[in-house]
Structure 1
Amino acid sequence: MMVRTVGVEEELLLVDEQSGEPRALSTAVLAFAESRADGDSAFEAELHDQQLEFATEPRADMRELADEILRWRAEAAESAARAGAAVAALATAPLPVSPAIGNGERHRWLAERFGLTAQEQLTGGCHVHVSVNSDDEGVGVLDRIRPWLSVLLAMSANSPFWQGRDSAYASYRSRVWGRWPSAGPVEIFGSAERYHEEVDALVGTGVLRDKGMIYFDARLSHRYPTVEVRVADVCLDPADAALLATLVRGLVETAARSWSDGEPADPVGVGVLRMAAWQAGRSGLEGKLLHPGTMRPEPASDVVGALLAHVRDALEESGDLASTETALKSLLERGTGARSQREALARTGSLRAAVAECVSRTRG
């Protein structure tokens, strides 16, 4: 069996280590990161100056991927410290913030074109790339993983606070991100030709700048031979980011086999998928989720169990089943980043103290 490679992109928040407030220091942090790099830096600027993004190398061994996530989080923390800041794997800023959009030409275009939607997009996601053999296989995968993406969102939920208030959501980032015109779940495409026709039509409207603004929950990467799953919050704990990547690879492998065997994709509609995504963003792993097989509410632990059962064969063949079972058990017991943030606030009575805890948790 050929083991598919996996890469992860994480968007981190730059904060003041004392106050917990976001700091617009990405230019300085990037300069320090580049000065520390042996070769090409893994870090990039994001839309807002209060953020920093890194990307791992493609990895076939998930333990190596987990180690690299830890490495780049540590490198980000070191470079941020030299600039007078800290990094936190938070999908929204808990404390009030006035986001500062970067000076790049693309960023200025987004700010002018999308106004408050762009201004308020200080959100951190986790994007998982999994290699595919062709665009046809990739679209076959996209068509078949649609019902499972909301479960990944629930598992990664890490954005309960917005502008100093509890949003009542586990992933408020998913609600804010959904304001982009191309974001969210999509229809079944059926073929690579149909997928590319749709992307060309969307870009052709002039609403979007280019193919980089195809913000589907999962898409064909326009830069790499991968399926890119974009639905998740950045995870507070690095172990959860590795777990997420492992499950995404399992989903891709399972879907690719189903496509190769000629099995049809589940015809669940986009409207129902939006309901599943809303429920996942609202409750995370607390309460109920929509089961991908029935699209009816069931306890979150049962739905996560269904995901594990769905990808079990692929995980067993890649040697990841036992570690995934252990990691899922841990996640279900301690809860998501959203739960951790709320517990920290309840324990300390301070969002600033909660952010300080998250800074520590970010590095594992």
Structure 2
Amino acid sequence: MGTSSRRLISPRGIAPACSVSRVMRSKQRSTRDLTRRISPRYRRFWNVVPLARRVSNCKPSAAGSTLASTPEKVMTSNRRELSDKIAVVTGAGRGLGRAIASVLAERGAHVIVNDRSLEPAEEAVEIIRGQGGQASAIAFDVSQTTEVEAAFGRILAEHGRVDILINNAGIGDFVPFPEITSEKWDRMLDIHLKGSFNCCQAVLASMKARKSGKIVNISSVAGKRGDFIGNAHYTAAKAGIIGLTKSLALYAAPFEINVNAIAPGLFATELTSEMSADMKATTISRIPAGRLGRPEEIGRAVAFLVSDDASYIFGETLSVNGGSYMD
């Protein structure tokens, strides 16, 4: 039948079989040539593999699709990613702070647990040690500048450095605007905003000298959107923390210090137990996830921001709120 016997009889748009074969051979030659041109020193970064080897290494997934072969570099567990790091977590005697301290210790950090009184801090330390982690307790009021300076002086003298600072200390006060007194306003801002400022000041010089450090300030979803319950003093303090985070991040970035914030939604802690049942139900009804957050979920978010995986993140506020507020 002449030359037509060497071609496939196919619908319009499908190339002859011999043409497809020539294209495939051409592509394989191009890939081999590219591989040869890249020096061995850089070839491992580009993971250039001849086409034939890529095809032979493909394996079908459980669903029947074809997946790429396993990369040469396999990711390892992050469970000890913070080994030998010194972390200070304020307000860690209970609630979110305790959960944050536990997750950081689980990942290898020596965690210095702070609270206003020593007893809850020591309780948290016992729990962490019981789980195989390293921790020690220290008591100071973050709103008192002299106490903060003295405490961090002791920490630096004993450990030589602070690699990680988590400004978590805070209080709750669920009241409508007309019930906020001047004393309530001052106390709220002193603990949340001034407390974060005091601790940042206490560690900044040593972090700058070492050109290394991670700071995470715990804000709130209320600091981003306001609070429908009221709590203007709490909202103002948490919004101030976001502003502090951005300003300090701009200053500290040239010294390789990562400063970021987390804005939690409503979590199942002692703080939420102070809310009335109606207030809690109303709040949960506004959460797309339909539940309160679990404290360890904040701990894992903090662990990410203080890890090397977040080394190029500066001045961000990470929302962890079940979808209740989206930027």
State TM-score, norm by structure 1: 0.24
State TM-score, norm by structure 2: 0.26
Larger Rg: 2
| Greater relative contact order (Cα < 8 A, sep 6+) | 1
